[in-house]
Amino acid sequence: SSSSSSSLEKEEIMTRIDALVKRILPLIAATIDDRSWRVRWTAASKFADVVHAFKTLHGAMDALVPNYEKLLQDPEAEVRTAATYNLSEVAKTKAMVYPAGWSGAGSDSDNGMDIDDDDDENKNTHRIPVAQRLVTRLVGLTEDDSVNVRAALAMVATELAPLLGKDASVSNLLPPMLLLLRDSSSEVRLNIISSLSLLNDVIGTDLLHQSLLPAILDLADDGKWRIRLAVIERIPLLAKQLGSDFFDDRLLGLCVGWLGDDISSIREAAAKNLQELTALLGTEWSVQNLFPRVRQVMEHPSYLRRMNAVQATALMATAMDVNSAQVEVLPILLEMHYDPVPNVRFNVAKGLGIVGTVFDRSVYQGQIVPILTLMENDPDRDVRYFASKTKELLSVAFEKST
């Protein structure tokens, strides 16, 4: 009959697949045990592709996963790093495998490539998702001597969270992630901070907040200015991921405090950061939490801080609703044209050029033009220059809008 013929064909196909698996998998094992670290590195780099190619074949994953774990413990740091980069992709196969060390798994034999031919029906209850098996390896990787391995882990480990679910993520994934947040390497800490969104989506903000904030505060004081810059650039990402509740007094103070950094690139990035936070978290939040702190900086004895506060104020105003920008921000910005230091005053003129087109013609003519006209008669030539330039640019912009 056709049904028996189909059954025989299916059985023959499965027999051929099993033969293929048993022939090829030992070859893969040979590359993993190769004496040359470059061969093992190539195997580690391509292992996710191998897993995805074999994941549907009977017994293959029980043989492949233990060998992948060998690559995670390879003597060479380059091999371990390449294997670690593939961690999340291997876990995403969603295949079911035996737990590590389970006595019933043929996969954990000495050569690591024996295929379990027994009927799986009585053993399926012992199988677990690949992600659940691999997550047990994370603590060991957080203690790896190579910073490159730990940095790679910090980039990909949180991708296991959606695969594990909340309970398993809290019990098995969160502890190694918290260890990475306290890593001695700033690169590792930056990587984990940048990849927290998936973990946050699964376990929630509250469990992360207590450990995440100290890591950010520590990085903010890093002696390397590029590290501080990288932290600033990641603050909007955290705002998007974790929301306004994440920003307590210490972090708010930090965001505004960067306006006084010794490095000009940091100060510029800090002003841009305040603009992005305003856009992400809203005008009302910014007016209540950020702008009062920026106003305090405008009264600082250092003219550099006052100048940076003026720049930040203009940028923040462009991200606010028009009414709030007019009522809350514009009067303060205009008032700063009285500052005794020319550098601050000409930044007021530049700031008015940035924010001027946000308002309608009546505000432009009634509030901005009179101040720019006064500044055109300033004793300092740079102030006069920027006042005239801004007045000219705004005039052209409003003429085009009519």
**For 93-130, what is each residue's pLDDT tens digit?**
878 888 877 654 444 444 445 545 444 444 556 788 89
pLDDT of residue 23: 76
Rounded Cα gap, residues 33 and 23, in angstroms: 17
Return the minimum-mean-pLDDT range out of 8-12, 140-144, 386-390.
8-12
- In what helix (H) or strand (E) does residue 97 lie, and over which residues does it extend? strand 96-97
With bands split at pLDDT 50, 70 and 90, how would you rate the model's confidence at 3?
Answer: low
Rounded Cα gap, residues 119 and 393, in angstroms: 79
Rg (Cα) of the chain, in Å, rounded?
30
Which among 187, 292, 274, 289 has a CA at the least distance from the CA of 235? 274
Backbone angles phi, psi at 193, to 5 degrees: -65, -35
The DSSP line for 154-193 is HHHGGGGHHHH-HHHIIIIIHHHHHHHHT-S-HHHHHHHH
Which of 13-17, 110-114, 272-276 has the highest mean predicted lDDT (pLDDT)? 272-276
Cβ within 8 Å of residue 154, ≥6 positions away: 180, 183, 188, 189, 191, 192, 195
Return the minimum-mean-pLDDT range out of 168-177, 231-240, 291-300.
231-240
Task: Enter the tokens of residue 330.
Answer: 């514009």
Q: Mean of the pLDDT values across residues 334-341?
A: 94
Rounded Cα gap, residues 155 and 172, in angstroms: 17
pLDDT of residue 62: 84
Return the axis-axis angle of helices 37-54 and 2-32, rounded to nearest 10°: 160
Return the SS3 of 41. Answer: helix
Q: Mean of the pLDDT values across residues 147-170?
A: 91
CB neighbours of residue 399 within 10 Å: 8
Task: Enter the tokens of residue 344.
Answer: 């601050």
Task: Enter the tokens of residue 174.
Answer: 């969160």
Q: Mean of the pLDDT values across residues 13-27?
A: 72
pLDDT of residue 402: 63
Return the axis-axis angle of helices 205-220 and 225-242, rounded to nearest 10°: 160
pLDDT of residue 107: 43
pTM over 0.85: no
- In what helix (H) or strand (E) does residue 339 lie, and over which residues does it extend? none
Return the minimum-mean-pLDDT range out of 7-11, 75-79, 86-90, 142-146.
7-11
Residue with tokens 């990475």: 180
Q: Mean of the pLDDT values across residues 347-374?
A: 92
Average pLDDT, the chain: 85
Cβ within 8 Å of residue 210, ≥6 positions away: none
Rounded Cα gap, residues 372 and 349, in angstroms: 7
* In the predicted structure, residue 88 carries a pLDDT above the cut 60: yes
Task: Enter the tokens of residue 208.
Answer: 């992360």
pLDDT of residue 5: 63
Which among 239, 323, 339, 333 has a CA at the least distance from the CA of 289? 239
Q: What percent of the chain has pLDDT over 70?
A: 87
Instruction: Report the sign of the C-alpha dihedral through residues 132, 136, 137, 143, in that order.
Output: positive
- In what helix (H) or strand (E) does residue 93 lie, and over which residues does it extend? none
Q: Can you state the percent helix, strand and coil of the chain, rounding each to 5?
A: 80, 0, 20
Which among 327, 371, 367 has a CA at the least distance from the CA of 348? 371
Return the axis-axis angle of helices 225-242 and 186-194, rounded to nearest 10°: 20
pLDDT of residue 4: 62
CB neighbours of residue 311 within 10 Å: 24
Residue with tokens 């992948």: 68
Cβ within 8 Å of residue 143, ≥6 positions away: 179
- In what helix (H) or strand (E) does residue 35 lie, and over which residues does it extend? none
Strand boundaries in 181-339, DSSP class E: none
Cβ within 8 Å of residue 319, ≥6 positions away: 275, 276, 278, 279, 283, 286
Backbone angles phi, psi at 102, to 5 degrees: -65, 130
Q: Mean of the pLDDT values across residues 301-317?
A: 94
* In the predicted structure, residue 13 carries a pLDDT above the cut 70: no
